[in-house]
Every structure is written in structure tokens, then in C-alpha cells.
Amino acid sequence: MQPFHRQQTVSKLVRTAVECSVYLAPKDPGLTGEEVVEVGKRLGFQEGELRDALFSPLVNLRRGSPRLLPEVHGFWSQFNFAEHNPDYRNVEAFDFVGKELRSLAREVGARSARLDRQVLVERAVARNLPEREVEAAITIMVIDGHLQDNDGVVSYIPGRETWPTAGEQLEQSRSSGRPDVVARDEQRARTYDVVKDIIARRTDGRPRAVEPLEAFAEAMEELGYAHLRLWWRQMVAELRLSDTNLTPTTVSVLSAALVEGALTLVVKHARELGLGTMGSTDFQRNPPTWKIDELIASAAKGGDSAILDDRSRLRALELVRVRQRIHAGRMVSDYPSGVPDLRPEEAREARQTAELVVRKVLDWLERHPRPKANLPTA
């Protein structure tokens, strides 16, 4: 794919992801930059191109809040032509909102036509319309510049009161012979499903991030290390900003530090459970004396209760070997005839290893959670 076409594809993905957030969470719409990147990565795009797309003129997004929102463009509320398939707009919901405000405007005048948003939604629900889809219709009409929402009171934007309702637009489209549907966009459908999962993670108790390095920050509270989350997030942020081509040693060292950190922070939990993993007597000493080699070896013990399998253990040990480049003594000893260059692909492998090991830790924590404290009986 040519670079410009690739850029167009990534920009479309970003716009679609943010758009889908409105259908799925209309009362709290939008995605953070990190959520957009996660959507794209899960759909096969690369982090760098996704972050570039967030600032591309091809992406029409509104900034200035913690989340990105679609910019006003005036066409989102139109049903005169089929633009997307699947189309997640509910025509009946849009039509209902338009007709309710029009009916009120005829009674009291367009300037005085105001409805409490909750009342408007309840009226729609009473007509068997899905609440979320009605909320989405209102939010889209606000974003699109047809309505305004002032502290939960919905009214027309001046001049928009004569706008045809969704049903009228659809009828005009059909009478003109325009096609009702366009070809199905499979990537749009996949994007919707991924955004749905990410939004669900905000409230369903699962880690907000699927990406293991971000998700581990949330697990730290359950492990009793909430006070170290800033440290962890700073390390992850620095790794994310490090370039595997320009700073491969930095990437490798930070990746190893995160592996060491994740394994260190589960030692106490593992030993309390008495499962066999992390059972080394080395961990009876103070944590500053623990060595990453022993953390990896011990994490692979315990049979079915082990944190690491043999593949992840070997990859972690290889990461440790690469990390030793920061020790001049090791370089003198291990490479008497000269130290080979650290290639970018080794740095990429190091980052992937960190993600693999931390994912193994998260999976192990899910299988072996901290026992709930016994509640006092009455």
C-alpha cells in the first residue's frame, strides 16, 4: 500500500473508532489517545502510525478534553444517502427526537422549544425505542450542530428548526431512487466490536487496558503496591517513547526493568499462596538483594502454578543477556574481541518480551487472585 493511501486508511480507522464511541457511550462519548492507539493495535496497525494519525489533518477530531470527539460536520444526522454499512444509527430514534421537538416548537415557538433530555429519552423508551440509541441520536444531533444541550435541556440551534426529520430524509432518498445500502465495511464492524470492549472495560471490573504494560498498573493496587503505580507508568511511558532504531539499548534496559519489576511485585503474593512458584530462599532476604535471573528461574517453577512457561522463561533470560550491555565489566568478559552492535530487531524483541512476561503475570494473577477477607458474620 502506498504511503498516502496507508495514511488515509489509518486516519479512517481513527475517525471510525471515535465515532463508534458515540454509539456505544453516548452520555460519555469519546476516546482518549491511548484508547485509540489500543483500538488500532488490536486491528493490526502500528503504534507510530496511529499516534501520527491523531494529529493528521485527515482526521477531523475535536480536542481540548481528556477524550477525542468527532468534529461538527453537519452530515452525521443526514439520512438522504447511504454512507456506511454497517450503519449504527437508529433512524427511528432520530426521527422521534426530531418530531418531538418540532411538535413542541409548533406549540410554543422554536426559540422556546426546550425539553429535558431525560424526559425526552423516557418518552422514547415508552415507545419501545432503545435508550442508548436514543441517547446516541441526541448526542449526534448536538455534535452535528442541529441541537444544543444546556445542562440536560435540549433545544434547537437557531435556524435548524426547519430541518427535515430522519424519516422525511429517508423518504426523500427512497423517492429519488438513491440506493438504501452500500457495500459492507468489515473493518468498520471490527472497529465497533473493539471499541465496545474497550468502553466496557471502563466499568466492568476488568483492566481498562488490554495492553499488558498498561493493565499491570491497575493490578498493582490489588498486590498492595498502589504507591508505586507512578513509577511503573513512568517506566512504561519512557519505553513507549524510546525508538528501537535510535535508542535500542534504552529500549532493552527499560524492557528488562519492567520484567524485573512485574516479577518482583508478585513475589509476596505468590509466597502467601504457597503454590511453589517464587519459592526461592533468596526472596527471604531484602528485595534490593534479589536478582533478575533468580526471579525468572523461580517464576518458572511450581508446575501448573508456575507464572512462566519454558518459552517465556527463555525469552526473558535472553532479554537479561541483552540488558547486560550496560555493564562494562560484562562486556570485557563476554566479548574480548569486540562487542557486536545491538540491532533494532533485538530491541523490538526486547519490548515484545516485556509485554509477553507481563501478560503471563497478569494471566497468573487472574488464575490465582488474592483470597477475599472473611466478612464478619452477624
Per-residue model confidence (pLDDT) at position 313 = 94
Which amino acid does the sequence have at 73? H
The separation between CA 374 and the C-alpha centre of its own chain, rounded to angstroms, equals: 35
Cell digits for 319? 532479554
Using alpha carbons only, give the angle 27, 53, 207 rounded to the nearest 5 degrees.
50
Q: State which H helix or E strand residue 219 sits in.
A: helix 212-222
Measured torsion, CA atoms of residues 93, 98, 104, 107, in degrees rounded to the nearest 10: -140
Per-residue model confidence (pLDDT) at position 163 = 87
For residue 147, list its beta bridge partners: 156
Per-residue model confidence (pLDDT) at position 372 = 60
Q: Which residues contact 102 (CB under 8 A, 6 or more apart)?
A: 161, 165
pLDDT, tens digit, for every residue of 124-171? 999 999 999 999 999 999 998 899 999 899 999 998 888 889 999 988
**Beta carbons of 77 and 157 less than 8 angstroms apart:** no
Distances (CA, A) of 84 to 68, 144, 180, 185, 229: 21, 17, 10, 7, 42
List of the chain residues with pLDDT < 50 = 374-378
For residue 133, list its beta bridge partners: none
Q: State which H helix or E strand residue 169 sits in.
A: helix 166-175
Phi, psi of 127 (to 5 degrees): -95, 15
Query: Phi/psi class of residue 375: alpha, beta or left (left: φ > 0; alpha: ψ in -120 to 50)?
Result: beta
Q: Which residues contact 343 (CB under 8 A, 6 or more apart)?
A: 248
Per-residue model confidence (pLDDT) at position 378 = 38
Q: Where in the chain does DSSP place strands (E)?
A: 61-62, 69-70, 114-116, 147-150, 153-156
**Beta carbons of 297 and 265 less than 8 angstroms apart:** no
Cell digits for 258? 519492567
Per-residue model confidence (pLDDT) at position 262 = 96
Cell digits for 78? 443526514
**Beta carbons of 354 and 259 less than 8 angstroms apart:** yes
Q: State which H helix or E strand residue 281 sits in.
A: none
